[in-house]
Amino acid sequence: MIFLLKPKKMFESNNIPAFEGIMVPMVTPLHSNGELDKKGVERVVRHLCQGGVQGIFILGTTGEAPSLKPAISKDLIEISCKETNLKTPVFVGITHTSLEVSLKLARSAKENCAVAVVAALPYYFALDQDDIFQYYVKLADQSPLPLFLYNYPAMTKSTIAPETVLKLAKHANIMGLKDSSGNGVYFQKLLQIKETYPEFSLLVGPEEMLAQAVLSGADGGVNGGANIFPSLYVKMFEAAKNRDFEKIAMIQSLILEISDGIYSRSPKSSSYLCGVKESLYYLGICEPHLAPPLSPIDRKHKEEIIHHLEKILLKIKSL
C-alpha cells in the first residue's frame, strides 16, 4: 500500500480524520561524536514499522530536533523516508524560530515523500494569539505539505488558544494538532472543534493520557514510549477505540510503569530522553548518545532504567 495523505476536501466529505492511530515521535540515533547513527536510524524505523504504528514523526522534541545541525536533519529525513518505503507515512517536524528555515525543512520533507509536516510555535519570543494565528497562516500558506499544529507551552512559552485552533482548522492545509500540554481542560475544549471539523486530527502527546483522550474522542497519540514498545501503544489505541475497558486498565498499568520506571529515574531534564535511548540501546537497536546541550544521567540511574525495562519486557511478553 502506498500511503498518501488525502487532500483535506476529501476528508471533509468523508468525516474521517486526517490521521488516526499512533504516530511515534522518533528518537534521533547519534554516535558519540555527535554524528548521525545511520544504521541505527534504519533499525529504529524498521522496529517501528514492524510494530504496526500508523505514522513516524521525525524531528520532534523526542528527536532532539532543535539540537541538531542542518546536515543531520537533512540526512534523517532522507533515510527515514527511504526506509519506510512509503508503507508507513512519515511526518517531519519543521519547528524552528525562523519561518524560512521551517519552510526549507518542509520542502525537503516533500522531496523525500513525507506525507505532512508538524510545527510547534517559534520558541524564543513569547507570542500572543494574534502573532500565533498570523504565523501559522503564513506557514500553512507556503508549506508544500499539509501541516499539523503542535501545542507545547512548556517548551514554546505560549499556548495556541482553542479559539485560535478553531480559526486555523478552517485552513485547507492544516490537518490537525498534537497537544503536549498535559492540560485536561484544554484538551476537552479542543475536542469540541471536531463537531465542526470531524476530519481535524487531534492527537495527544503524554502517553499517560492516551486512553482517556481516545475515549473522549481524540484520534490518537504521539507517544514517546512507542519508540521502545510500538505495538503496545497500538494495542492501547485499539483498546480505547473499542472501549475495551479491561484491556485499557491492563495496558495503562504498564504505561504508567514505563513512565515511572524508565522516564523518571533522574531529576535531570534529560531523564525522559535518556530513558528512551538507553532502552533502545539495551535492545540493540541504536546508540544511546544525546546531542548537547542535554547531558547524560548518572550510571546509577541508567542501571535503574535497565532493571525496570527488564521487568516491563517480561510483563509485556505475558500479556
Residue 121 sits in the site that holds its own copies (CB under 8 A): yes
Q: What's the distance, Cα to Cα, between the start and end of the chain in Å? A: 30
Residue 87 sits in the site that holds its own copies (CB under 8 A): no
Q: Which one of 52, 66, 198, 261 is in contact with its own copies (CB under 8 A)?
A: 66
Q: Which one of 20, 208, 219, 304 is in contact with its own copies (CB under 8 A)?
A: 208
Rg value, the chain, Cα: 18
Phi, psi (rounded to 5 degrees) for 120: -80, 170
Residue 138 sits in the site that holds its own copies (CB under 8 A): yes
Q: State how far the Cα of 277 lies from the Cα of 288, in Å rounded to an integer.
A: 5
Q: Which of residues 249-268 bind its own copies (CB under 8 A)?
A: 249, 252-253, 256, 259-260, 267-268
Q: Dihedral through CA 106, CA 109, CA 110, CA 116, nearest 10?
A: -80
Q: State how far the Cα of 239 lies from the Cα of 233, in Å rounded to an integer.
A: 10
Residue 311 sits in the site that holds its own copies (CB under 8 A): no
Q: Which one of 16, 212, 250, 313 is in contact with its own copies (CB under 8 A)?
A: 212
Q: What is the nearest approach in angstroms of its own copies to the Cβ of residue 60?
A: 11
Q: Which one of 16, 49, 283, 294 is in contact with its own copies (CB under 8 A)?
A: 294
Q: Which one of 31, 189, 241, 247 is in contact with its own copies (CB under 8 A)?
A: 189
Residue 130 sits in the site that holds its own copies (CB under 8 A): yes
Residue 246 sits in the site that holds its own copies (CB under 8 A): no
Q: State how far the Cα of 21 lies from the Cα of 34, in Å rounded to an integer.
A: 32
Q: Which one of 16, 49, 166, 215 is in contact with its own copies (CB under 8 A)?
A: 215
Q: What is the nearest approach in angstroms of its own copies to the Cβ of residue 172?
A: 20
Comparing CB distances to its own copies, the nearer of 46 and 245 is 245
Q: What is the nearest approach in angstroms of its own copies to the Cβ of residue 81?
A: 22
Q: State how far the Cα of 119 lies from the Cα of 105, in Å rounded to an integer.
A: 11
Q: What is the nearest approach in angstroms of its own copies to the Cβ of residue 87?
A: 31
Q: Residues 165, 177: contact at Cβ < 8 Å? A: yes
Q: Which one of 14, 15, 85, 192 is in contact with its own copies (CB under 8 A)?
A: 192
> What are the C-alpha distances in Å from 150 to residues 66, 138, 161, 300?
15, 16, 12, 34
Comparing CB distances to its own copies, the nearer of 213 and 285 is 213
- In sequence order, what are the residues at sequence separation of 6 or more whose Cβ sits closer than 8 angstroms to the Cβ of residue 102? 94, 95, 96, 119, 139
> What are the C-alpha distances in Å from 270 to residues 1, 13, 267, 274?
38, 44, 8, 6
Phi, psi (rounded to 5 degrees) for 192: -65, -25
Which residues sit at the interface with its own copies, rule CB under 8 A? Answer: 34, 61, 66-70, 97-101, 121-128, 130-132, 134-135, 138, 155, 182-189, 192, 195, 206, 208-209, 211-213, 215-217, 243, 245, 249, 252-253, 256, 259-260, 267-270, 291-295
